[in-house]
Structure 1
């Protein structure tokens, strides 16, 4: 899948109609989730049938296109399926994974880990009906919400793709306006000549990453650099009266600052990841036929406030690094360019000597690895070499490398020719091509 994004230009009443469609989609998703919680044995197809019941019962739900209602129910089922998958993997925090025995019992059960009801949805998704592409720059929505004809602003050429290839259309609300995303069913692959190189990557706080060749990439720290703007925007919001128009404007300005930071972080991760599998004209840095990296649990790292790991927690640098985005794009471009990406267990990669294999204990503040065998390297450089060696020892296996054969891990390795839909949850997107300014990725 390929996702092409355009900014939408319309009139105020059309934006209000989009907001109403988003609220209706949120209502359908929440009702479908409640139906699953109250009714034992409900599956995905039962939720789709339940959309018809909601349309008969609520007039505003009937106004939304039937495929958009089904897409909202599919979102609810996606959250449910992800919950059971987390239970099977024994993810911490997912405490209850039994079907709902009864309404009262479910209400008294712990809520942690369950799919949650949406409060502020920002998108509505249509399938193959409810919309029509008039020309490459105009789209009209034909349901009874009254959205009508909208202008698409962007440099992507939709005329290049057959209209039957467009499987879904999303309307997304952001702080700086409304956007339309087109999910196009096409394969994006590029064939590159083998370079004969392999590389291991160690992400860190001092440098964004250090590779096994000793090259480093500086950490931009976008959030840190924008903290003054964020504090000023927060103060403006707190000074406004709740419910007033000025407060809404202040909240919107605050959202724009956060939106800029997230876009900077995503674009930085995307460009770095694209340079690692070598592809002209981006012949820079560390490219190789095999790229190894750590299988880090980023969510757990940034939540750890124990003193040795305080820099990794929220408010530290770990939450601003964008390691998750970098890994996601790295796996995507590995598939696109036919390269192998392998996630290895990070255990002892920083402590083990890359020369003799001796474990040399060191704290986070110790930045140089010094071993009795005479090996003296930067801590991250030593870890990157260990990561590469671990990946090379497991080439031919699909999955996370582990020392313990009884240990469990996600199947995160991406082999040449593999399908993105077969990768981990972070890759279950239609496509990461979402640059509305025409930047080739």
Structure 2
């Protein structure tokens, strides 16, 4: 699935109409979820029937396209399924019981309720909410695809405006020539990552850099009177600053992941549980600022797109074991240099990256076999362990 996003150029009445459509989609979702809570054990057919009852009962729900209402029901259905799956798998901690949504910023249409203009520079929403014709601003070449390939159209509200997303069902895979390179990555807080060759990528620390500006705008919000127009403007300015920092972090992770995957046939990285790591209140801000999860997500995405192998390795003892002789060398977090009796002396993260690569190569097979396997390379998924990864390579 490929997602193309365009900035929407709107007039003020159109913004009000989109906000009304978003509130209606949220209303349908919460009502359907309440119906499921009151009638535990019902199936998805009953949920869709209740959605039809809502359209007959409320005129403002009937004004929204029927497929957009069905998309809200699908969101509830996915949340329920995820909750039951977590219960069956006995996931530790909270199981993700479905919750009501107070703040919703998107409405999703299926393959009806909208129509693209012939030049594909604008889109018309044809339900009774009154959104009308929306001009699209962006550089994506949407004209290359057939309208039948567009499975979803989503309107998203952000701090800096409204966006229209197109979800297309296309083959997004590219085949690259084999490079013969393999690499192991050890992420950290001092450097963003250190590879098995000893090269380190500096950590940009976008949140730390913009923290002073964030505090300034947060103070401005606190000084404004609640409910006033000036407070809304201050909140919007604060939201824009947060959005800029999150985009910087995402773009940084995307660029690095693409470069690493294109340059190597196998990429090994740590299978970190970031959700557990941020429980350390001393390091939680720095861990969230690093964006390890975004980096891993894009590594696996580009690995799947370009036909490269990505392997998540258990991080246990990768920093303690010697990469040369395998001896365990105990060291605290403050010890940044690995020194072993065998004479091996490396940076702590460099030593860990070598161990990560060795473990990954031991999982997928010998290096010679790997480099001849370009036609059958596969990518792994989040949450899978080494047993679920590539077991044999032809």
Report if TM-score (shorter chain) is over 0.5. yes
Residue 380 of structure 1 corresponds to 349
Aligned match of 2:309: 340
Query: In 2, are the aligned partners of 1:190 and 1:336 still within 8 Å (CA)?
Result: yes
- Is 1:120 aligned to residue 120 of structure 2? no
Distance change in 2, residues 1:416/1:43 (3 Å): farther
Are residue 58 (structure 1) and residue 58 (structure 2) matched?
yes
- Say whether the 8 Å CA contact 1:353–1:382 is kept in structure 2: yes
* 1:55-86 deviation digits (Å, cap 9, x = unpaired): 11211111111111111111112222222233
The Cα offsets for residues 188-229 of structure 1, whole Å up to 9 and x where unpaired, read as 111111111111100000000001111110000000000011
Give distance in 1, aligned partners of 2:318 and 2:48: 47
Q: CA deviation at 1:361?
A: 1.5
In the TM superposition, residue 43 of structure 1 has moved relative to its aligned partner by 2.8
- Deviation per CA, 1:347-403, whole angstroms, max 9, x where unpaired? 11111111111221111111111112211111111111111111111116xxxxxxx
1:44–1:385 distance in 2 versus 1, CA, 3 Å: farther
- Structure 2 CA distance, aligned partners of 1:416 and 1:368? 39
Structure 1 residue 149 displacement after superposition: 0.5
SS of 2:317's equivalent in the other structure is: coil
Cα deviation, 1:216-253, whole Å, max 9, x if unaligned, reads 10000000000011000000000000000000000000
Whether 1:392 and 2:361 are equivalent positions in the alignment is: yes
- Cα gap change, 1:298 to 1:171, in 2 (>3 Å): same
1:417 deviates by: 5.9
Kindly indicate whether the alpha-carbon contact (under 8 Å) linking 1:165 and 1:185 is maintained by their aligned counterparts in 2: yes
**Distance verdict in 2 for CA 1:45–1:418, change over 3 Å:** farther
Question: What is the match of residue 274 of structure 2?
Answer: 298
Selected match of 1:350 from 311, 319, 323: 319
Q: Distance in 1 between matches of 2:127 and 2:383?
A: 32
Q: 1:94 — aligned with what?
A: 94
Go from structure 1 to structure 2 and tell me whether the alpha carbon gap of 1:338 and 1:365 turns closer, same or farther (over 3 Å shift): same
- The residue number in structure 2 matching 1:9 is 9
Contact 2:64 2:128 in 1 (8 A): yes
Q: What does residue range 274-293 of structure 1 map to in structure 2 within 5 Å? A: 274-278=258-262, 287-293=263-269
Deviation at residue 45 of structure 1 after TM alignment: 3.6
Corresponding residue for residue 102 of structure 1: none
Q: 2:129 aligns with which of 137, 145, 152?
A: 145
Counterparts of residues 23-102 of structure 1 (less than 5 Å): 23-94=23-94
Q: Is the 8 A contact 2:198 2:350 kept in 1?
A: yes
**Given that residues 6 and 181 in structure 1 are in contact (C-alpha distance below 8 angstroms), is that contact kept between their aligned partners in structure 2?**
yes
Structure 2 length normalisation: TM-score? 0.91
Quick one: distance in 1 between partners of 2:246 and 2:51? 34
* Shift in Å, 1:153: 0.4
Deviation at 1:416, TM superposition (A): 5.2
State the Cα deviation string for residues 318-352 of structure 1 (Å, max 9, x = none). 11001111000000110111100010111111111
How far apart are residue 87 of structure 1 and its match?
Answer: 2.6
Match of 1:162 among 141, 146, 170: 146
User: Residue 334 of structure 1 contacts residue 416 of structure 1 at CA under 8 Å; is this kept in 2?
Assistant: no
The CA distance in 2 between the partners of 1:42 and 1:371, in whole Å, is: 62
**1:210 is the counterpart of 2:194:** yes
Are the aligned partners of 2:309 and 2:378 in contact in 1 as well (CA < 8 Å)?
A: no
* Pairing partner for 1:226 from 204, 210, 216: 210
TM-score normalised by structure 1 residue count: 0.82
Pairwise CA RMSD: 1.8
Secondary structure of the structure 1 residue equivalent to 2:117: strand
Contact 2:64 2:129 in 1 (8 A): yes
Deviation by residue 1:106-155 (Cα, 9 ceiling, x = unmatched):
xxxxxxx4121111111000000010111310100011111111100001
The number of equivalent residue pairs is: 375
Structure 2 residue aligned with 1:433? none
Higher helix share goes to which structure?
A: 2
CA distance in 1, matches of 2:349, 2:90: 31
Deviation larger for 21-30 or 387-396: 387-396
SS at match of 2:186: strand
Q: Offset of 1:425 from its aligned partner?
A: 7.8
Instruction: State the Cα distance separating 1:304 from its structure 2 match.
Output: 2.3
Cα deviation, residue 40, structure 1: 2.2
- Give the Cα separation in 2 of the matches to 1:89 and 1:122: 31
The answer to whether structure 1 residue 322 and structure 2 residue 291 are counterparts is yes
Q: Report the equivalent of 1:109.
A: none
Cα shift at 1:418: 5.0
